[in-house]
Amino acid sequence: MSASEHRPPLPPFTHDAATLKVRLAEDGWNSRDPARVALAYTADSRWRNRAEFVTGREAIAGLLTRKWVRELDYRLIKELWAFGGNRIAVRFAYEWRDDAGNWFRSYGNENWEFDEHGLMALRHASINDLPISERERKFHWPLGRRPDDHPGLSELGL
């Protein structure tokens, strides 16, 4: 296995390692680069994302490509909810707009399971969309990585 097939931190997770793993995942998703994001998953990773079920990096990259064509100006915050052994649970919110200029905040929970190399083998995501006005937006950083000094979900009351 190549060094690129290892994604520290590795399980079993401590609180600090799980928190870092969540932030690294958030950073990857905020890149909106499907190929880059897909490399954090095992070659045969299985996902449930909303009502869509996919298996493997190619299918994951395809799902993310479709997602980010539709969800414009995407900005995401993830927060650790629970962890144990090789599993992590997160809650998240992201803001995006459609091509008609309508804004949404999508809320959800994810359950993750990792292999011994730190690659995610299972991802189960439940997501709900809330239409919001532009003035209700809370995520205003430039596209890309959330700045370290930007509040997280709890600090924003989400």
Q: Give the model's pLDDT for residue 5.
A: 83
Please measure the distance between the N-terminal and C-terminal CA atoms of the chain and give it in whole angstroms.
40
The phi and psi torsions of 14 (rounded to 5 degrees) equal -90, 175
Q: Is the pLDDT of residue 3 over 80?
A: no
Q: Kindly state the percentage of the chain with pLDDT values over 70.
A: 97
Confidence of residue 4 (pLDDT cuts 50, 70, 90): low
Distance, in Å, from the CA atom of 45 to the CA atom of 42, rounded to the nearest integer, reads 5
Tell whether 125 is covered by a domain. yes
Tell whether 79 is covered by a domain. yes
Q: Is the pLDDT of residue 1 over 70?
A: no
**For residue 38, what are the contacts with CB-CB under 8 A and spacing of at least 6?**
57, 58, 60, 61, 64
Distance, in Å, from the CA atom of 89 to the CA atom of 100, rounded to the nearest integer, reads 33
Looking at residues 33-42, what average pLDDT do you find?
97
Please indicate whether residue 1 or residue 24 has the higher confidence score (pLDDT): 24
Tell whether 74 is covered by a domain. yes
The mean of the pLDDT values for the chain is: 97
Q: Say how many domains are in the chain.
A: 1
| Separation in Å, CA 25 to CA 20, 22, 64, 100 | 9, 5, 14, 29
Tell whether 60 is covered by a domain. yes
Tell whether 142 is covered by a domain. no
Tell whether 15 is covered by a domain. yes
CATH number at residue 57: 3.10.450.50
Supply the range of the domain harboring residue 31.
9-136
pTM: 0.96
